[in-house]
Structure 1
Amino acid sequence: MTEVINEPQDEVLLEVTDLKVHFPIKRGIVVDRTVGHVYAVDGVDLSIRRGETYGLVGESGCGKSTLGRAILRLSEPTAGKVVFDGTDVAQLKGEKLRKARRRMQMIFQDPMSSLDPRQPVESILLEGMRAHGLAKDKAATDQRLRELLGAVGLPETALRKYPHEFSGGQRQRIGIARALAVEPDLIVADEPVSALDVSVQAQVVNLLEDLQNELGLTYVVIAHDLAVVRHISDRIGVMYLGALVEETTSAELYENPLHPYTRALLSAIPVPDPVVEDTREQILLAGDLPSPANPPTGCRFHTRCPWRQASLCDTDRPQLREIGAGHRVACHYAEDIRDGRIQPHDVEPELVELTGVLSPDAAPDIGTITEIL
């Protein structure tokens, strides 16, 4: 009998189970009292294998960034588990949490605001290394700094410069070098190229891929640009209003989307062929994204879904279930939609009214969805 040895990429590095992040809505002059919650992330289950790139997509306000921050404990989870390499990070505190964070780093969306303008690049890179005891030997540390800059395509002279002296793409490279400085296993990249020019985006995406191949990194890439996600990701999860609605490989998602929301997202990608663009299916969603402080009952997409049915959709929240090998979908009628047994229909926009303590007259000003998340 031949012994079967699993390849490293088959090993689960990160497993998230029923993760929830609810932000309380406070009101009061003398004593704050909780009058409701913003359900930013509400029951997410996913697993990421070592060496894999997992893409996370969805429109603004769906909870992508909050999920990424909760994985790293930058936002405190309300409930659920975040098991990283066998350890539940959601339960760690104090020194144990600080040590665990060395193996999990983040690349932030805005390369300017995420870098301290008062520190030169050398201090920015050394800060994390010193915090984790990786800068004890000066000669070795100097060599490590030069290697970091070389890895992200910057000259050694960059060490003495300040963030404002670099272009946007160069600042993002500094952010990547800072994440690599403490030798992590997992990097959460929150919109790593959205603030950059198209030509620079390609350079940064290629850099991330090269570093992954050299260092065996695992990525969670949060993005709006579906073309970028398709290029860099092995698997993709689609989020809507705090929950995953579909998850599968990159190729399968673009060739065979099963959830109505995923179909709508992909139909919004422009095609550079005018003949194809004029004849292909285009799904225009009615209404706005509902408030995460008062999500719809049942399927949260049913208020905008062209395939909405009279039963189940309004009352029962669908679970993320497997349809085909490795293809998970949260839709009651995914098979019927796929096989054409249910046809799309026009959707009238619905006004989702706040009730009770969250009525329009009583609710406090808590900012826009994007500001909250």
Structure 2
Amino acid sequence: MLLEVDDLKVHFPIKRGAIFDRTIGYVYAVDGVSLAVRKGETYGLVGESGCGKSTLGRGILRLTEPTSGKVIFDGTDIASLKNEELRRARRRMQMVFQDPLGSLDPRQSVESILTEGLKAHDLAGTKQQTSKALRELLGSVGLPSSSLRKYPHEFSGGQRQRIGIARALTVNPDLIVADEPVSALDVSVQAQVINLLEDLQIERNLTYLVIAHDLAVVRHISDRVGVMYLGALVEEAPSASVYAEPLHPYTRALMSAVPVPDPVLEDSRERIILRGDLPSPANPPTGCRFHTRCPWKQDTLCDTERPVLTELKPGHRVACHYAVDIASGKLKPNELALEVI
């Protein structure tokens, strides 16, 4: 394992009062997530907006300070490192941000943007050596060497994201956290960037944690998939298993929303419609986080006891009290929650 996350929590205080600034509560953005990523694999993290995916990614890299928990990177607990030790560890962990324009300084040229990381980690050589390395790096992400003299506003969205990827690669990292790397791009450009990420992974033996809400993108690029809901991981399995046989009710609802390119099959399959709104992360439900919207909800246990991730099949973990009964058809859903479209 290259990365192991153990019971990671990121809670943001809610303040009130102009003078005393009292803490009156917390937003439980990430609330006890545990996962592991093997070296060389791509781990896809999915879930609807507001579930805590991006906060988890930033917490792993300590761009946002975790409230508690452990982040073990290649045998070292990142969460306990300070100052110089943390700076050295960060060279091996980089991030590609969702907004390619907002993540690049508009006052810096591409050359300045790429050189900044080299200088920060004492990796810059002579001016000629650095210039040659940057030209080769731009070539590897599909940009001409003339891009070094240009500024971010002179590029398209896809080109800017390539610059962001190049920036992450300048320090030769082992792990890249890609936060919605293609969501801001046109569909035709998305495929190009995804293919680029896959090629770079093979060339450089990279490990990816890809955060996304587009299930088609995650299915294409990921070896394993984790599904988040309201700050918690509810299902984790190899990519093929999640898409072929989702076991958690929330994952089943997500997958039922993915269009199938077969009109006959699409017209005959059940679509799970979730009732109600996503609860507030500042006041999450007791027991199972999903029970307020779950079509298979049962009284007592779902309301009071929070399920833990349990391995039901080899490599397939689910946080649901009744996952086995739901998968076997023994437990029937509320018919009002199902639609055939």
Identify whether the pair has TM-score above 0.5, normalized to the shorter chain. yes
Once the two structures are TM-superposed, the CA of residue 347 in structure 1 deviates from its matched residue by 6.4
Report the AA paired with residue 318 of structure 2.
V
1:103-122 equivalences in 2 (<5 Å): 103-122=92-111
1:289 corresponds in structure 2 to 278
Residue of structure 2 aligned with 1:72, choices 55, 61, 65 = 61
In structure 1, the residue corresponding to 2:302 is in which secondary structure?
coil
User: Residues of 1 paired with 2:271 and 2:336: CA distance?
Assistant: 14
2:211 corresponds in structure 1 to 222
2:197 counterpart of 1:174: no
Report the AA paired with residue 212 of structure 1.
Q
User: Residues of 1 paired with 2:245 and 2:263: CA distance?
Assistant: 23
Once the two structures are TM-superposed, the CA of residue 137 in structure 1 deviates from its matched residue by 2.2
Once the two structures are TM-superposed, the CA of residue 191 in structure 1 deviates from its matched residue by 0.2
User: Residues of 2 paired with 1:62 and 1:179: CA distance?
Assistant: 25
Residue of structure 2 aligned with 1:202, choices 191, 216, 228 = 191
In structure 1, the residue corresponding to 2:31 is in which secondary structure?
strand
Listed as ranges, the gaps of 5+ residues in structure 2 are none
Residue of structure 1 aligned with 2:290, choices 297, 301, 316 = 301
User: TM-score under structure 1 normalisation?
Assistant: 0.89
1:357 corresponds in structure 2 to none
In structure 1, the residue corresponding to 2:301 is in which secondary structure?
coil
2:50 counterpart of 1:29: no
User: Residues of 1 paired with 2:267 and 2:327: CA distance?
Assistant: 23
Change (3 A) 1:23 1:217: same
In structure 2, the residue corresponding to 1:328 is in which secondary structure?
strand
1:138-177 equivalences in 2 (<5 Å): 138-177=127-166
Report the AA paired with residue 59 of structure 1.
E
* 8 Å contact kept, 1:109–1:190: yes
User: Residues of 2 paired with 1:281 and 1:346: CA distance?
Assistant: 11
Residue of structure 2 aligned with 1:86, choices 54, 75, 81 = 75
2:215 counterpart of 1:233: no
User: Residues of 1 paired with 2:229 and 2:335: CA distance?
Assistant: 20
Question: Which piece of structure 1 moves more, 308-317 or 257-266?
Answer: 308-317
* 8 Å contact kept, 1:286–1:347: no
1:253-332 equivalences in 2 (<5 Å): 253-332=242-321
Q: Which whole-Å deviations, capped at 9, do the CAs of 1:285-340 have from their partners, x for residues lacking one? A: 00110000000000000000000011310000000010010000000011111111
User: TM-score under structure 2 normalisation?
Assistant: 0.98
Listed as ranges, the gaps of 5+ residues in structure 1 are 1-11, 349-373
In structure 2, the residue corresponding to 1:323 is in which secondary structure?
strand
2:331 counterpart of 1:342: yes
Report the AA paired with residue 109 of structure 1.
Q
User: Residues of 2 paired with 1:88 and 1:44: CA distance?
Assistant: 16
- RMSD of Structure 2 on Structure 1 (CA): 0.9
* 8 Å contact kept, 1:304–1:347: no
In structure 1, the residue corresponding to 2:303 is in which secondary structure?
coil
Residue of structure 2 aligned with 1:124, choices 110, 113, 118 = 113
2:125 counterpart of 1:136: yes
Count how many residue pairs are aligned between Structure 1 and Structure 2. Answer: 337
Residue of structure 2 aligned with 1:54, choices 18, 34, 43 = 43
Change (3 A) 1:81 1:347: farther
Once the two structures are TM-superposed, the CA of residue 346 in structure 1 deviates from its matched residue by 4.6
In structure 2, the residue corresponding to 1:282 is in which secondary structure?
strand
1:212 corresponds in structure 2 to 201
Once the two structures are TM-superposed, the CA of residue 272 in structure 1 deviates from its matched residue by 3.0
User: Residues of 1 paired with 2:175 and 2:210: CA distance?
Assistant: 11
Q: Which whole-Å deviations, capped at 9, do the CAs of 1:125-147 have from their partners, x for residues lacking one? A: 00011100111322221121011
* 8 Å contact kept, 1:305–1:347: no
Report the AA paired with residue 112 of structure 1.
L
User: Residues of 2 paired with 1:305 and 1:264: CA distance?
Assistant: 9
1:183 corresponds in structure 2 to 172
User: Residues of 2 paired with 1:45 and 1:137: CA distance?
Assistant: 43
2:40 counterpart of 1:45: no
User: Residues of 1 paired with 2:262 and 2:335: CA distance?
Assistant: 27
